[in-house]
Structure 1
Amino acid sequence: MTVPPEEPRSLPEFPPITRERWRELALGVLRKSGVETGSPEEALASTTYDGVTIAPLYDASDLPGDPGLPGAAPFVRGSRPRGGSWDVRQRHEAPDPEAVLTDLENGVTSLWLPLEPEDLPRVLERVHLELISVALDAGGRTREAAGTLFALAAARGVTALTGTLGADALGDPATAAELARRCAGEFPGLRAVVVDATPYHDAGGADAEELGCSLAVGVAALRVLTGAGLTTAEAFGQLEFRYAATADQFLTIAKLRAARRLWARVAEVCGVGEAPGVGQRQHAVTSSAMMTARDPWVNMLRTTLACFAAGTGGADAVTVQPFDTRLGLPDAFARRIARNTHALLVEEAGVARVIDPAGGSWYVERLTEELAAKAWEWFQEIERAGGMTAAPAAGLVAGRIAATWERRSAAIARRRDPITGVSEFPNLDERPLTRRPRPGGEGEGSLRAGDVRSGAGQDRDVRSGAGGVHYAQDFEALRDLADAQERRPSVFLATIGPAAAHTARASFAANLFQAGGIATVSSGASGGASGGAAVDPAGISAAFAAAGTPVACLCSSDRFYGEHAEAVAAALRKAGARKIWLAGKGEFEGVDANLYAGCDALDVLRTTFDDLGVTR
């Protein structure tokens, strides 16, 4: 029996949604939350360190214009006309041939080798150079390392090398020019020069600052190569750009898209905008600055987000730094997780199946455009100061990056930029991991101690230490200090009233103190009267005396503070409290200071160490 199909039922039409209607609804919610404003856009917007405004809502009117086609200028949608996986580039800091082969047998397609020239023959002995890209990174010995690679290729009859030789056109222009001429004439798949923008990121700089500096270094490199006899198009074909990829996926996606757009503009101004091969070749490296030594397992999540963003943003090669990179030489497990991050995103998530998957997003397209505009302004400012080889520009860049790091540091200290596992949700019981030290005690991350990537001593000016700064460094220093004590420093949490009244602020206070390695002892856990509605200052003070610490923090609701804060503070003071904090805002007799959302957590922690008699 055949059942005739039912007639399709029409669904009621949804009413059109307008920006004005959204504004009305958003204003209503804001007013109920106590926020009085006439503009929900201003109330809900945020600003990046570059001054780019992130709006709460985007629509089709935010599209900046036609971004072009993949593989065609201005290359916003990618330098390649077809999709496919990015180059999985694993970094090897130690001359370990077995580790190299293990990586190549398990998904790695490219080797990044910051090794000495004499180590290369042993490391590459069983590597098929005709199949694998090699990125050299030998610093001041680039000429020797390149010569070794060429000799290995010649001995094996390999005529088609791919990758990069890692020359620094500003630090060693003669070597860069010599290698660029050879690559242009003999190895069209090999690029001689790396424009490394990661030092500016690693010094605490913002995304547009990183982009603008990369343009300035890239233009300076073009001048070196064309001055050495290469054509402009040949010079463009000899550069590879290296950028940091962070856990802020949208900014990373927009940064890589903007970088290609900006470099295409440079090519256009140089008269080679339509020449083949002038699109920017990008190597994205997961950020060193965002990596933590504490709770390093969380780094796996950070690098997964960063790798996703790098692939989505169209990077040609991507390096995922192992989660234990802050601790020393990564072990086999960490390298495996790093390469499997690529495999998961490419094979399981299918990120590489679509060209420019973020393209067409109103938010991403607008963010790309605004980031590019900020970066171009910064690039022009550097050029007006004489370019990257000029001393005034060096001072300009150093000052700008330092100012950004200062603002970023303040946001980290106040936990507006939270660091999971460090400034938020620390685990005082974590077991520390140990790793073998790097060769020569070199710095961690994507940079080696003493590396100079932009010439004229620029990196020495902008970088703080051999490996740059780390966002978690100040909190981690306090954790180290706390761990070094014979007895872990502690603070007493005087929980007032029932659990419903004090739990939120007690949890907040415990989280803040533990971010500095300071343990917390609660009056509720110590048999105080906080389990019920009755408040017993004497019971709380007795629990405080048993805790063996001179610092206490009151934790409760505003109502209970009004009724009991002063009495509890007086009882604690009588019991010997040297310092009394209050979780929340409000002034009460006997309370010395407050901690609250947005307070300077690092200042609270340092003050507490002083109050506890811990020498910093």
Structure 2
Amino acid sequence: MRLAADFPSTTRDDWRALALGVLRRSGVDADPEAALATDTYDGVRLAPLYDAGDLPELRGPRPAHRGWDVRQRHAVPDNEAVLADLENGVTSLWLALAPRDLERTLRGVHLDLAPVVLEAGERTAEAAAVLLSLGAGVRGNLGAGLGDHAVALARRCAAEHEGLRAIVVDGLPYHDAGGADAQELGCTLAVGVAHLRALTAAGLSVEQALGQLEFRYAATADQFATIAKLRAARLLWARVAEVCGGAGEQVQHAVTSSAMMTARDPHVNLLRTTLACFAAGVGGADAVTVQPFDAALGAPDGLARRLARNTQALLLEEAGVGQVADPAGGSWYVERLTAELAERAWSWFQEIEAAGGILAASGLVSARIAATRARREDDIAHRRLPITGVSEFPNPGERPVRRPAGGRVERYARPYEELRDLADAQPERPAVFLATIGPVAAHTARAAFAANLFHAGGLRTLTSGPGTDPEAIASAFAASGAAVACLCSSDQLYAEHATPVAQALRRAGARKVWLAGKGTHEGVDARLYAGCDALEVLRTTFDDLGVAR
């Protein structure tokens, strides 16, 4: 079957010619593939177009399974919530609980049917002992990491507990600290290899050692990056296993990113986690945890847990995402992205190994991840990396959702949310006056842009209404009670009116006069524009308004 038989054939050069024509209308006369390409934090070039020539020679192993294990996390001992999850679609449990809470939390749970993954930190051995005492046939993972009695637990699992693994190689700390995808992959490779060395030195065979490891990765709303990351992880680990003389597919647990979650406008997190879950399923994860939409606020409520598990149920049962193994396989873009991500992750892994392994290279790892985090923070501050509901399209009238306090993760949205909290804490929400010059058609676009930016910090905006009379605008400013103003209009009207309006605002007591757009005008202190440092604008505005930070 030739699906495109009735269409004229086209070439990459045809596309380039058409794209160049469009770019030239925008004043860009350059190679369209270079002009439209972007780079990831790992330095992977994302091209605007891919064809069969981009397919890499080396492809990773495809997952052998279809569908995935629906794994819900519980950090509060609540037997009723655990049973409700298992009765309504959840197929395994991830318990971040103290050892003393495990028995009562798991009361009534059939441990031979519902796998349990532990997260107990320094008390892993104690938690493992409690879990193993609850009955035969326990499945899941004891959650040991480097130094957490991993070798002893792995030997016991290999000898006595089929279906139970001892070790989790956790990539979430690297992701949550700000690492890029290849950095997360390279670090987990290094941790995994460190475990293999320790286990085989303790007498386990390579096959037994490989069988004790499960890998945990972050899934984000960047669906193609997540799909490629999970596919690259399998490719990389298959190479490690081959070099070690073993075989077997990497077991993957994907968790929707904590760093991408927001405390403000938290219901938007439902969209983020749906995208991330979809990507994890398409990428071939063996188990997926969808974090509740209110996870950034603390302990989730019953509704949030229900929506989290039903997100997975919808994707599995209604959308049929789990019915095809490796649906992205063969995609020119995804295959190329997978290969390039794997190459950079392998290079990073080799650098860690050359520095003495993951433990000896902790300083190197921290410095490299910190540099990536700084680049991302700069992009967030300049809104090159927008956060819907926070840095873009915030809801200034939102009533914050409250939950019992939980753990702290360095989330991308936090700098904006701290300013929103500061604005909420004032007796009256601080305001910025938008001096809209000329008719509505002339100032609407820039007034909307300025309002969106100031709302991202929790500031109110007041407008003068259409008109060009400087004294009328200054009078409206004085009546507003604001101390900071922003001019909003077209470049043409700025040329005639920006200076007299700014001077009139000064006489009316304005401490700071911004201008939304281009140009230098007397009386204007600074400009707002696409790509400006929005966080610095907001922090400066709080200072100008006399609000202590």
Q: TM-score, normalised by structure 2?
A: 0.98
Aligned match of 2:378: 410
Aligned match of 1:549: 482
Aligned match of 1:371: 341
Q: TM-score, normalised by structure 1?
A: 0.87
How big is each residue's C-alpha offset from its partner over 1:30-79, in whole Å with a ceiling of 9 and x where there is no partner? Answer: 00011121x00111000000000000000010111363xxxxxx42x21x
Structure 1 letter corresponding to 2:491: D
CA distance, structure 2, for counterparts of residue 134 and residue 422 of structure 1: 36
Aligned match of 2:22: 29
Tell me whether 1:87 sits opposite 2:66 in the alignment. no
Aligned match of 1:63: 55
SS in 2 for 1:326: helix
Aligned match of 2:214: 240
Tell me whether 1:209 sits opposite 2:177 in the alignment. no
Tell me whether 1:14 sits opposite 2:33 in the alignment. no
Give 1:121's match in structure 2, choosing from 80, 103, 117: 103
Within-5 A mapping of 1:507-526: 507-524=448-465
Tell me the number of residue pairs that the alignment of Structure 1 and Structure 2 aligns: 547
Within-5 A mapping of 1:44-443: 44-65=36-57, 67=59, 74-75=60-61, 77-78=62-63, 80=64, 82-83=65-66, 85-153=67-135, 158=136, 160-168=137-145, 170-172=146-148, 175-272=149-246, 275=247, 278-390=248-360, 393-438=361-406, 443=407
1:161 CA displacement: 2.6
Aligned match of 2:494: 561
Q: Is the 8 A contact 1:199 1:468 kept in 2?
A: no
CA distance, structure 2, for counterparts of residue 24 and residue 179 of structure 1: 62
Structure 2 letter corresponding to 1:302: R
How big is each residue's C-alpha offset from its partner over 1:401-423, in whole Å with a ceiling of 9 and x where there is no partner? Answer: 00000000000000000000100
CA distance, structure 2, for counterparts of residue 575 and residue 114 of structure 1: 58
SS in 1 for 2:514: strand
- For residues 11 and 423 of structure 1, do their structure 2 counterparts lie closer, same or farther at Cα, with a shift above 3 Å needed? closer
How large is the RMSD of aligned CA atoms in angstroms? 1.3
Q: Is the 8 A contact 1:45 1:53 kept in 2?
A: yes
Structure 1 letter corresponding to 2:47: A
Structure 1 letter corresponding to 2:118: L
1:11 CA displacement: 10
CA distance, structure 2, for counterparts of residue 226 and residue 312 of structure 1: 33
1:436 CA displacement: 2.2
Structure 1 letter corresponding to 2:452: N
Tell me whether 1:596 sits opposite 2:537 in the alignment. no
CA distance, structure 1, for counterparts of residue 106 and residue 514 of structure 2: 60
Structure 2 letter corresponding to 1:326: A
CA distance, structure 1, for counterparts of residue 381 and residue 478 of structure 2: 31
SS in 2 for 1:365: helix
Unaligned runs of 5+ in 2: none
Structure 2 letter corresponding to 1:19: R
Q: Is the 8 A contact 2:58 2:339 kept in 1?
A: no
SS in 2 for 1:405: helix
Give 1:486's match in structure 2, choosing from 412, 416, 427: 427
1:150 CA displacement: 1.3
SS in 2 for 1:241: strand
How big is each residue's C-alpha offset from its partner over 1:225-265, in whole Å with a ceiling of 9 and x where there is no partner? Answer: 11111111110110000000000000000000000000000
Stretches of 4+ moved more than 3 A in 1? 10-13
- For residues 494 and 16 of structure 1, do their structure 2 counterparts lie closer, same or farther at Cα, with a shift above 3 Å needed? same
- For residues 547 and 377 of structure 1, do their structure 2 counterparts lie closer, same or farther at Cα, with a shift above 3 Å needed? same
Taking only the aligned residue pairs, the percentage that are identical comes to 70
Tell me whether 1:496 sits opposite 2:437 in the alignment. yes
Structure 2 letter corresponding to 1:510: A
1:12 CA displacement: 8.6
CA distance, structure 2, for counterparts of residue 66 and residue 16 of structure 1: 29
Structure 2 letter corresponding to 1:586: G
Which is further off, 566-575 or 394-403? 566-575
1:428 CA displacement: 1.5
Structure 2 letter corresponding to 1:191: R
